């Protein structure tokens, strides 16, 4: 089986139950065990580590938001776009736990930079965090970092995400996560038939600056 079949999408699907806006947050994972099966995808998605990650992510969602599902699937190969890929869906259907406030724009959010040990733009990535959805989280051009607030919940998620990295060593998640590591997947590199098109994440950092994701602006 080609290395491309070992690269997986790991994605949360969630929505604003008030406006109906739907969002996705996710990253890529590499299966270091060899050929993945649907049982491997099931065990990864249903593992204790994935449950803890899910709960940390849900804690950064407002109570009027619903975390719908976790989807783990093999990425599409730009060299063979018609190939059938494996996919496992873990239904969740749970509401966020962060209290609502006076809403900030849906597009206002933060990113987490994902870094590898390769000096290439193709080897860097980012993860879009859920919308803040509260004016009380904003201070100028940066996020308020008060304990128990939205930014603090992102820090909790970030700390938990660390356990998906190969560089976390003995603290790496076990169970269904054994042999699986977060990575950067470069579709452009794969399309160009580059020798290296995935890179394990070695470090990550939340950016305290306010970012705007225009795709999250609700349509009238």
User: With contact defined as beta carbons under 8 Å apart, do 173 and 163 qualify?
Assistant: yes
What ranges do the domains of the chain cover?
3-216
Residue range 47-76: mean pLDDT, rounded: 97
DSSP state letter for 90: E
Distance between CA atoms of residues 67 and 54, nearest Å = 9
pLDDT digits (tens, 9 = 90+) for 66-101: 999 999 999 999 999 989 899 999 999 999 999 988
Of the pLDDT bands very low, low, confident and very high (cuts 50, 70, 90), residue 216 is: confident
User: With contact defined as beta carbons under 8 Å apart, do 206 and 109 qualify?
Assistant: no
Picking from 153, 155, 168, 152, the residue whose alpha carbon sits closest to that of residue 201 is 168
Size of the chain in residues: 220
Tokens 């394990």 locate to 200
Q: Is the pLDDT of residue 1 over 50?
A: no
C-alpha separations of 131 from 24, 91, 113, 138, 151 in Å? 11, 21, 16, 12, 11
| Cβ atoms within 10 Å of 202's Cβ, excluding its own | 17
pLDDT digits (tens, 9 = 90+) for 161-175: 999 999 999 999 999
Tokens 């939205």 locate to 150
Tokens 């590898």 locate to 116
State whether the Cα torsion 156-162-164-168 is positive or negative: negative
Angle at 162 between CA 210 and CA 181, to 5 degrees: 115
pLDDT of residue 147: 80
């Amino acid at each position: 089986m080609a290395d491309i079949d070992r690269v997986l999408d790991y994605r949360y699907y969630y929505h604003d139950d008030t406006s109906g806006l739907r969002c996705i947050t996710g990253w890529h994972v590499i299966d270091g065990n060899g050929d993945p099966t649907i049982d491997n995808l099931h065990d990864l998605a249903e593992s204790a580590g994935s449950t803890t990650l899910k709960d940390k992510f849900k804690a950064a969602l407002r109570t009027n938001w619903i975390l719908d599902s976790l989807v783990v699937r093999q990425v599409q190969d730009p060299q063979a776009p018609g190939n059938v890929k494996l996919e496992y869906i873990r239904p969740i259907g749970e509401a966020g736990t962060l209290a609502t406030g006076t809403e900030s724009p849906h597009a206002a959010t933060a990113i987490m930079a994902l870094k590898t040990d390769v000096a290439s733009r193709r080897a860097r990535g980012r993860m879009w965090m859920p919308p803040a959805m509260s004016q009380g989280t904003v201070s100028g051009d940066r996020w308020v970092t008060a304990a128990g607030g939205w930014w603090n919940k992102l820090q909790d998620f970030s700390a938990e995400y660390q356990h998906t990295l190969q560089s976390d060593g003995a603290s790496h998640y076990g169970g269904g996560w054994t042999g699986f590591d977060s990575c950067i997947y470069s579709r452009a590199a794969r399309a160009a038939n580059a020798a290296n098109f995935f890179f394990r994440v070695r470090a990550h950092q939340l950016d305290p600056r306010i970012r705007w994701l225009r795709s999250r602006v609700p349509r009238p």
